């Protein structure tokens, strides 16, 4: 299955939203885009590792396209705030698309341009578009965090 990797603030809510999308076959929260190998949550939260909280999404392209995943990504956060989403502040909460290959890179840039020109936002989109970097899964208690805490 192809993969997509997105950073859009705290990974708990982002993961929960992608889990509900038909065609998404697996999600994994973790850390990417930094310089420290195998960082811990505490290290990432210190802002010294360079990592972003991110969600790796595996998807069935016969059910959902990468372009559609990008549209969902834009809808989940404010891509105009640098290193901030809501009350969460720091580079670990930045908006970023980590592309896997040339086709995803092309689609990500086109999607960003469309989002920036859509009139949806009052400020410029600051989302980074960078090659997928080593992805380090977050600690087990972060995986499916929202799902584990839903009232049944």
Which residues are catalytically annotated? 10
Residues ≥6 apart with Cβ < 8 Å to 21: 64, 69, 72
Nearest one of 60, 61, 76 to 17, comparing CA atoms: 76
- HEC per residue, 102-133: HHHHHHHHHHHHHHHCCCCCCCCCCCEEEECC
């Amino acid at each position: 299955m192809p993969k997509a990797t997105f950073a859009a603030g705290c990974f708990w809510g982002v993961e929960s939203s992608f889990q509900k999308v038909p065609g998404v076959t697996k999600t994994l929260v973790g850390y990417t885009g930094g310089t420290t190998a195998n960082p811990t949550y505490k290290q990432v939260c210190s802002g010294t590792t360079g990592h972003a909280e991110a969600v790796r999404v595996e998807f069935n392209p016969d059910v959902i396209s990468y372009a559609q995943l990008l549209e969902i990504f834009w809808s989940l956060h404010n891509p105009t705030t640098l290193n901030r989403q809501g009350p969460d502040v720091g580079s670990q909460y930045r908006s970023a698309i980590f592309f896997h290959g040339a086709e995803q890179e092309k689609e990500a840039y086109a999607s960003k341009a469309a989002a920036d020109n859509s009139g949806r936002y009052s400020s410029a989109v600051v989302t980074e578009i960078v090659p997928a970097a080593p992805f380090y899964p977050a600690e087990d208690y972060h995986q499916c965090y929202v799902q584990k805490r839903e009232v049944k």
